[in-house]
Chain A
Amino acid sequence: MNTNQKTIICFCEDITKEEILKAIEQGYTTANEIKRHLRAGMGECQGRGCMPQIMKLISQKTGKPREEILPPTDRAPIKPVPLGVMGKISKGNQKGV
């Protein structure tokens, strides 16, 4: 196959469908594991586009029902925020989630 014929799943980190299928075959069968193994979903869009597709691929490939494939952990900031802005919060009383 021509190299530019790739099917991209994670656009931020340039992860292909083939790579994701291979990872699932190797036993990475949760969204969090795929994320850590391939870095898919860890880029600038914070996994918005690729994660639903990755969960679908895991389900298709493993035969597990969709409800068993949990979404990865969602962390703040929900949108990328400049370091200098994050450094301006009033200190102390947050518990966090």
Chain B
Amino acid sequence: MKEKQRILKHPVLDFKRGRKINFHFERKGITGYENESIAAALFASGVKVFRKSKRFGHPEGWFCGIGKCSSCLMRVNGIPSTRTCITPAREGMQVEPQSAKGMLPDKTSIQVARKEEHVQVLIIGSGPAGLEAGITSRKLGLTTLIIDENPVPGGQLIKQTHKFFGSKEEYAGLRGFEIARIMLAQLKNYKGTYLTETSAIGYYPEEETGKHKFLAVKKQNDSYQLLEINADNIIITSGANENYLPFPKNYLPGIYGAGGVQTLMNVYGIKPGNRALIIGAGNVGLIVGYQLLQAGVEVKAVVEAMTHIGGYLVHASKLARLGVPILLRHTIKEVKGEEYVTGATIIEINENMQPIEGTEREMDVDLILIAVGLSASTKIPFQAGCEKMFVPELGGWVPIHNENMETTIKGIYVAGDVSGIAEASTAMLEGRIVGAAIAEKEALNPEASQRVKESALTELNQLRKSSLLKAVAAGKIKCQQKWNEAKNHEQ
């Protein structure tokens, strides 16, 4: 049993691992910890290849770590295509890798209980936007149900070990995982339901009344609960997806998304590799670079295709001080390795983004981290039929929404990254605005609600004056104009 991948000492985080548990992978014994996902436990035990791809038989391994991609699908206790990165490991589990097509499940039964819910507000997602929307709407007296797909609540906050900027109200000076803890504690002060491991299935409005109805499914060990949620209002805070980067051999284990790496090292305390190369010098790349150093991973370099560093200078200087070179106008050319990454070649590029031959440099790395931006995770609002528009300042296609964060479907709201890529503090403010706007509409405590909303709006506009959020502000205005156009058109 190799334990060397586990992070035992960390300057910021203290990993309280649960009870040790044993399960089987390809009939070999694996030791993991309670509350750890199957994929994380496997990774910690040195299993890097999770599956072979369908057509080419490429090895694939850990990737997104939050149940969005398909790299970690395995057969668990006789059930094919299980997302092992969000399935907690349990004593005695039988885990087997899955070839291209799943075999028929062993189990001939499935336990499903159906439950109907009636709430004023359904919140999908519990990152900064979802939690804040929950706190605000509960504080103002709305009945609220929050669902989140991950076993651990808090969205991406729980992976952040750096101190936040912004204003005190949005927890400036505290670290992300601390903020998540405080917000969750606050949420518990008010009545309401909170469900983890609960996935959104889809929006199915009622035939006659047109009332909102949303289906979700909660997984509990080996059984399921199907939730039919009748909600007067729906707040979608589904966050973002990481952008992939196309380059030769980009499928190889050892090439991971920044979020996936954060999950491994900051949630589970597992070292994602030993020597890293980071692609992308935006905030995410820089912050995760520093977090890698904290986890005891050597960071060989950060490469960036642009001529400037995209992220905050504070984050860049922190890395530079620790001797990590940030190479502008560079990109990845090639990856070495058969089963997993054993090295990489980087190359300089010219102003037309074309590689300059002869500038190749070999990097001795076993981890390549992709941090080339995010796109709004819009499946839920788009499936519901919310109208969309392309806003480059917001990271691509987003649901059209107004200042109250309402989409083109009455009573369906968005907040946080799903409404346009920005950052955690503004996501919280958007969450607060939605919560207050709904309370105002439902005529609960209208004056207090309006006050909360107005002050959050003022603060949001203030934050968006900063150099990095100026573009977001412009994008949001485009969105609001389009919303007004759409509404005028309706009338």
Report which residue of B64, B81, B244, B385 has the largest number of chain A beta carbons within 10 angstroms of its beta carbon: B244
Q: Does B378 contact A (CB under 8 A)?
A: yes
Known A-B contacts A74-B379, A90-B114; the reply to A96 vs B246 at CB < 8 A is no
A4 to chain B, nearest CB (A): 7
Residues of chain B with a CB closer than 8 A to A97's CB: 202-205, 383-385
Q: Does B271 contact A (CB under 8 A)?
A: no
Known A-B contacts A74-B378, A76-B383; the reply to A11 vs B70 at CB < 8 A is yes
A61 to chain B, nearest CB (A): 13
How many chain B residues have a CB neighbour from A under 8 Å?
62
Q: Does A66 contact B (CB under 8 A)?
A: yes
Q: Does A25 contact B (CB under 8 A)?
A: no
C-alpha spacing A58/B147, complex, angstroms? 36
C-alpha spacing A97/B215, complex, angstroms? 13
B window 369-390: CB within 8 A of A: 375, 377-380, 382-385, 388-390
Chain A positions 39 through 68: 1 when the CB is less than 8 Å from some CB of chain B, otherwise 0: 000011110111011000000000000110
Residues of chain A with a CB closer than 8 A to B116's CB: 90
Asked if A80 and B58 sit within 8 Å, CB to CB, the answer is no
Known A-B contacts A84-B112, A93-B208, A97-B384; the reply to A6 vs B56 at CB < 8 A is yes
Asked if A48 and B379 sit within 8 Å, CB to CB, the answer is yes
Asked if B390 and A17 sit within 8 Å, CB to CB, the answer is no
Which of B60, B71, B201 is in CB contact (< 8 Å) with A77?
B201
B106 to chain A, nearest CB (A): 14
Which of A14, A77, A90 is in CB contact (< 8 Å) with B202?
A77
Binds A, one of B182-190, B247-255, B277-285: B247-255
Q: Which bucket holds chain A's interface residue count?
A: 35 or more
B window 426-464: CB within 8 A of A: none
C-alpha spacing A47/B395, complex, angstroms? 17
C-alpha spacing A81/B226, complex, angstroms? 10
B235 to chain A, nearest CB (A): 16
Residues of chain B with a CB closer than 8 A to A76's CB: 201-204, 215, 383
Asked if A48 and B202 sit within 8 Å, CB to CB, the answer is no
Residues of chain A with a CB closer than 8 A to B224's CB: 82, 84-85
Asked if B384 and A71 sit within 8 Å, CB to CB, the answer is no
Q: Does A26 contact B (CB under 8 A)?
A: no
Residues of chain A with a CB closer than 8 A to B71's CB: 11
Which of A14, A50, A94 is in CB contact (< 8 Å) with B244?
A50
**Which residue of chain A has the shortest Cβ distance to B149 in the bound complex?**
A79
Known A-B contacts A78-B201, A96-B204; the reply to A7 vs B250 at CB < 8 A is yes
Asked if A95 and B114 sit within 8 Å, CB to CB, the answer is no
Chain B positions 65 through 76: 1 when the CB is less than 8 Å from some CB of chain A, otherwise 0: 001111101000
C-alpha spacing A78/B207, complex, angstroms? 21
Interface residues of B (CB under 8 A from A): 53-56, 58, 60, 63-64, 67-71, 73, 81, 110, 112, 114, 116, 149, 199-208, 210, 213, 215, 217, 224, 226, 228, 241, 243-244, 246-251, 338, 375, 377-380, 382-385, 388-390, 392, 396-397
| 29 A-B pairs whose Cβ atoms sit less than 8 Å apart in the complex | A4-B338, A5-B248, A8-B58, A14-B53, A14-B58, A43-B54, A44-B70, A45-B68, A45-B70, A53-B243, A76-B201, A76-B203, A76-B215, A76-B383, A77-B202, A78-B201, A78-B380, A79-B149, A82-B110, A85-B112, A88-B114, A92-B207, A94-B213, A95-B204, A95-B205, A95-B206, A97-B202, A97-B205, A97-B384
The 10 A-B residue pairs with the shortest CB-CB distance in the complex, in nearest-first order? A76-B202, A84-B110, A14-B55, A67-B390, A44-B70, A74-B382, A79-B199, A94-B204, A45-B70, A95-B207
